[in-house]
């Protein structure tokens, strides 16, 4: 659910009209900051797939669909295969219908792992090779994280690698105004301890450090779950995060309560947040970042995912008037540089020679760089040229991905809907409204127990 919100926001921020949908190459070999040498080497050894067709079905609509087609064109150029992409806003329902009817596309583009895992368990996906899993482990930053996120039990219960992640978003970001930081002589914090100290310094200076808004219509509360998920990754080993997401430890486990209460240190302190803690639950998340740019500023920092720029005032130029820094880790915890995010993954629903060749093509830097140059596409591929990113904001987010020691998918999107898009959301609103963390967590756990 949250990823749909993110995707909708991301579309607002896209620059349309660059890609060509007629099969011609968007960027000529030799032009631009792309990995042409590796592409020419790939092309020289690519199989001749003339006359073969690959069908791909996913959630991307205009303008992302045409931008994706401009990347596909390089596979067609190298192999002669025809590739057809179809997008639908009803993808999640239709892919199940088509697969169960025996008429799936060759490749499905899943907006999150949950549905892919369900279809794998039903025998509706084809595993990728061990070589592909090894390649991801070796060539994606925090590679084993991506292998794990794409590995699910098959119909017989054996773990298999199914999902190749392609197009990622980063949520571990804090947005700020460089001008405001410079005027106040504040420095970008490098550790969570520094971030807390900076927040306290801003209060001591008579200002307000944070803007936080949880409002989102029927989805109100989800921004707080991102906070808690990010803090979980910074407070405990990634294995604990995984146990929490699977409810192998209960929601009211002390480790989870610690993360909720750390969020409360920011959100439930009237001095910490614009409008006081009473405003957190009612402020719309789309309106929340505007306080960064008022004069005088209503706040100095806003934690939000990479799509936040879609909701900045029209006269704010990202990269000039607004910038971001990595939501830092606790130095004392020694947990590296974890990153929370989401992303789409490719999985095979109807294998063929050309289909498997296309999945192999996705290893090529050019398959990522063409997307990087045109839209809000981020990749953990360590072999891409970072200069291919459309702008400095995207490059900076790409660098955060490449520096990640651990990547974890948005936890609430992986939980059962009644919890992740239900009691977790409402519980966080109750919490910022004055409820105790232990009571909120116990109620969320009860909702999970009710569906077991």
Interval 185-222: pLDDT, tens: 999 999 999 999 999 999 999 999 999 999 999 999 99
DSSP annotation of 237 reads -
DSSP code, position 420 = I
Task: Show Cβ contacts of residue 71 under 8 Å, excluding neighbours closer than 6 positions.
Answer: 366, 367, 368, 370, 371
**266 has a pLDDT exceeding 70:** yes
421, pLDDT greater than 70? yes
When pLDDT is cut at 50, 70 and 90, the band that residue 10 belongs to is: very low
- Domain membership of residue 369 as a residue range: 2-170+340-409
Residue 436 and residue 450 in contact, taking contact as beta carbons nearer than 8 Å: no
Segment 311-321 shows an average pLDDT of 95
What is the pLDDT at residue 2? 57
Name the residue among 226, 172, 169 with its Cα closest to residue 344: 169
Question: Using an 8 Å Cβ cutoff, are 278 and 188 in contact?
Answer: no
| Least confident residue range of 4-8, 30-34, 234-238, 336-340 | 4-8
Q: How many domains does the chain have?
A: 2
146 & 227 share domain: no
pLDDT at 18: 39
- Reported as a pLDDT band with limits 50, 70 and 90, residue 3 is low
Residues 368 and 400 in one domain: yes
| Average pLDDT over the chain, rounded to an integer | 94
Please indicate, yes or no, whether residues 300 and 361 belong to a single structural domain of this protein: no
Judgement on whether residues 281 and 142 belong to the same structural domain of the protein: no
Residue 9 pLDDT grade (very low, low, confident, very high; cuts 50, 70, 90): very low
11: confidence class by pLDDT, cuts 50, 70, 90: very low
Residue 225 vs residues 147, 174, 213, 419, 441: alpha-carbon distances, Å? 24, 15, 12, 11, 12
236 and 138, same structural domain? no
Domain with 381 in it: what CATH number?
3.40.190.10
Strands 164-170 and 151-153: unpaired
* Phi and psi angles of residue 200, each rounded to the nearest 5 degrees, phi first: -70, -35
Reported as a single tens digit per residue, the pLDDT across 138-192 is: 999 999 999 999 999 999 999 999 999 999 999 999 999 999 999 999 999 999 9
Annotate 220-232 with DSSP letters as a single string.
TTHHHHHHHHHHH
Are 84 and 56 in contact by the 8 Å Cβ rule? The answer is yes
* 250/291 same-domain check: yes
Same domain, 144 and 6: yes
CA distances from 433 to 232, 279, 325, 380, 429 (A): 21, 9, 28, 38, 6
Q: Are residues 120 and 252 in the same domain?
A: no
pLDDT at residue 24, rounded to an integer: 78
**154 and 103 part of one domain:** yes
Q: What are the start-end ranges of the H helices in 333-385?
A: 353-361, 365-372
* 152 lies in the same domain as 225: no
Q: Is pLDDT at 17 greater than 80 in this prediction?
A: no
Contact 366, 138 (CB under 8 A): no
Within this chain, do residues 245 and 375 fall inside the same structural domain, yes or no? no
Together in a domain, 300 and 443: yes
pTM equals 0.92
């Amino acid at each position: 659910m949250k990823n749909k919100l993110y995707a909708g926001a991301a579309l607002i921020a896209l620059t349309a009209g660059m890609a060509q949908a007629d099969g011609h190459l968007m960027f000529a070999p030799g032009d631009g900051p792309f990995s042409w040498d590796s592409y020419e080497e790939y092309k020289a050894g690519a199989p001749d797939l003339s006359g073969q067709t690959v069908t791909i079905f996913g959630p991307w609509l205009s303008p992302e669909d045409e931008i994706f087609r401009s990347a596909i064109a390089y596979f067609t150029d190298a192999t002669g295969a025809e590739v057809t992409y179809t997008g639908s806003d009803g993808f999640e329902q239709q892919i199940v219908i088509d697969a169960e009817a025996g008429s799936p596309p060759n490749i499905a583009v899943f907006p999150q792992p949950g549905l892919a895992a369900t279809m794998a368990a039903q025998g509706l996906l084809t595993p990728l090779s061990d070589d592909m899993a090894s390649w991801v482990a070796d060539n994606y930053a925090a590679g084993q994280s991506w292998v794990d996120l794409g590995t699910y039990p098959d119909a017989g219960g054996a773990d298999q690698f199914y999902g190749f992640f392609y197009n990622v978003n980063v949520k571990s970001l804090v947005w700020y105004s460089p001008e405001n930081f410079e005027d106040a002589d504040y420095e970008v914090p490098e550790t969570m301890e520094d971030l807390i100290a900076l927040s306290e310094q801003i209060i001591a200076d008579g200002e307000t450090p944070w803007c936080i808004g949880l409002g989102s219509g029927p989805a109100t509360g989800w921004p707080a779950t991102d906070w808690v998920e990010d803090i979980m990754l910074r407070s405990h080993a990634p294995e604990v995060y995984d146990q929490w997401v699977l409810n192998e430890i209960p929601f009211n486990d002390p480790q989870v309560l610690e993360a909720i209460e750390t969020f409360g240190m920011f959100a439930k302190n009237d001095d910490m947040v614009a409008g006081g803690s009473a405003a957190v639950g009612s402020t719309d998340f789309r309106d929340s970042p505007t306080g960064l740019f008022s004069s005088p500023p209503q706040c100095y920092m806003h934690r939000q995912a990479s799509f936040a720029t879609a909701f900045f005032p029209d006269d704010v130029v990202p990269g000039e008037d607004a910038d971001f820094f990595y939501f830092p880790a606790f130095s004392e915890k020694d947990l590296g540089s974890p990153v929370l995010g989401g992303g789409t993954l490719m999985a095979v629903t109807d294998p063929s020679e050309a289909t498997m060749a296309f999945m192999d093509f996705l290893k090529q830097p050019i398959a990522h760089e063409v997307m990087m140059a045109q839209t809000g596409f981020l990749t953990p591929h360590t072999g891409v040229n970072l200069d291919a990113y459309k702008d400095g904001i995207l490059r900076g987010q790409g660098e955060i991905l490449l520096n990640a020691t651990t990547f974890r998918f948005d936890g609430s999107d992986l939980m059962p809907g009644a919890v992740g898009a239900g009691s977790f959301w409402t519980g966080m609103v109750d919490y910022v409204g004055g409820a105790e963390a232990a009571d909120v967590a116990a109620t969320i756990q009860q909702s999970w127990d009710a569906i077991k």
